[in-house]
Structure 1
Amino acid sequence: MKGAHLSERKCREILHLFCEDLTATQIAGVTGVSRVTINAYLKMIRTRLAHFCDQEFPRHHLPENHLSLSGSPDGLPKTSYFGFTRMNGYVYSTGLTDMSRENLISWQKQHIDQSSGSMTAIHAVADFSNWRLYRRDMLTAGPHSNTNGDDISGFWGLTRNRLMKFRGVNKNTLYLHIKECEFRYNNRNENMHDKLLHLISRHPLHELQ
């Protein structure tokens, strides 16, 4: 990063500690790098992860009111509502606009239509202003319905536990944190450090500056 004057070895150490899921304060303490610099690096890493996750989202499942990193005027979408879509053991998240409690109650009563581009393509909605998850389980989806439900539960549990350790996440960066949780959950059986190194080698972080 411009002005940081960190060696490649130190940058790799920061990346390793990020993969170990340490906070910025903890990483600063271990590396001896200022928390301001660490936060700047972590934001770039999370932005790269968010771009990757946005590209991985099955396009035909995107709801009409979705928010994306590339479509936001200032680069970071701002919302407290996120929709979760499950598919083949993966869970995808997307920011949602124009949401309210009334809209969520109405959505829960709708039938799930996997081919629809509306909110019916979403299996659960999280309200991060109140830490509540609204679900619409596929009770008649057949023998795999419980597995699918566990995907949502597992992702919500990971996301909730990770974000609560920060003692509150700024709404301006919530999107990046949700996408980081998505990346961690969908790659939980892989070596995150190696996968992230490969991703950054293809798309270096300095491109984000």
Structure 2
Amino acid sequence: MSRLENTNIITNKIKIETSAIRKICYFFSKDFTASQTAAKLNISRQTINSYYKIFREALFDSYIYSQTNGIDLNITYMKIYEKNIYFLEEKNKSFLLDEESFIFLNINNFIKDKLEQTLENNKKINSVRIIYNEHTKNFTILGYYNSSSDLEEFINNRLKKFRGIKKENLNNHIQESFFRFNHSSDEIHKKILTYFSIL
């Protein structure tokens, strides 16, 4: 299903009016859990999760890092729930670098071969400044430093409210946390309403 109907949508044989979908959208944009939204709207958690999944797919599929110039970049390391996380900082936004990253085709190999041990073993540095050469597809290290970011605190605080996350779902939660860190709730709300034509 690519778009919600303007009048209603049928999920699990339950018809939900557009007004209810708008409310679900609102609570999703405010980062309420499915359980919290279900309690607020008196709708089953399973139904709320179905809509949340639709919203996430619509939002995240269009969320692509578009930087193609050979410029200075900053890669920062942090640890979330015993998982090593690397992210790119650019223009006041943060982009997760993981196995599914398509920002640069060889970025993960570069991290593993050149950065991983240094960043993980040194508590005084957590970031590296690099230059990416678009023609040779190579990276040059300019220097290491200590970066202070609100992102780690934001992710840790956000994940706590789920009261336990299955290991297989952790990466999805981290990806969503990056998206929410980069976008205000108002932006998220407007994007969903616009995408599904339910303004």
TM over 0.5, yes or no? yes
Q: Which residue of 1 aligns with 2:98?
A: 95
- The alignment's C-alpha RMSD in Å is 3.6
Q: Which residue of 1 aligns with 2:21?
A: 11
Q: CA deviation at 1:85?
A: 0.5
TM-score by length of 1: 0.59
Number of residue equivalences: 157
Q: Is residue 131 of structure 2 the alignment partner of residue 114 of structure 1?
A: yes
CA-CA distance at 1:193 after TM superposition: 1.4
Q: Does 1:158 align with 2:168?
A: no
Structure 2 residue matching 1:197: 3-state secondary structure: helix
> CA shift at 1:200, angstroms?
4.1
Aligned identity (percent) is: 25
- The DSSP-based 3-state class of the residue aligned with 2:98 is strand
Q: Deviations over 1:8-59 (max 9, x none)?
A: 1111111101112211111111111111111121122222222122x23536
TM-score (norm 2): 0.62
Flag the 1:105–1:35 CA change in 2: closer, same or farther, 3 A: same
Q: 1:164 to 1:58 in 2, by over 3 A?
A: farther
Rounded Cα–Cα distance in structure 2 between residues aligned with 1:118 and 1:107 = 19
**1:27 corresponds to which of 18, 37, 51:** 37
Residue aligned with 2:16, SS: coil
> Contact between 2:29 and 2:185, CA under 8 Å: does it hold in 1?
no
Alignment equivalent of 1:58, drawn from 67, 77, 101? 67
* Preserved CA contact (<8 Å) 1:107 1:120: no
CA contact (8 A) 1:49 1:179 kept: no
Give me the whole-angstrom Cα distance separating, in 2, the residues matched to 1:200 and 1:17.
16
Whichever structure has more helix as a proportion of its residues is: 1
Segments of 5+ residues of structure 2 without an aligned counterpart are 1-9, 71-82, 100-107
Structure 2 vs 1, CA of residues 60 and 39 (structure 1 numbering), >3 Å: closer, same or farther?
Answer: farther
Give matches, 1:40-59, under 5 Å. Answer: 40-53=50-63, 55-56=64-65, 58=67
Is the 2:132–2:139 contact (alpha carbons within 8 Å) kept by the matching residues of 1?
Answer: no
Change (3 A) 1:39 1:120: farther
SS at match of 1:113: strand
Any stretches of 5+ residues in structure 1 without a counterpart?
Answer: 62-79, 122-135, 140-148, 202-209
Deviations 1:157-197 (A, max 9, x none): 11111012112223333333223222221123854311332
Contact 1:81-1:95 at 8 Å conserved across structures: no
Describe how 1:179-194 pairs up with structure 2 within 5 A.
Answer: 179-188=175-184, 191-194=187-190
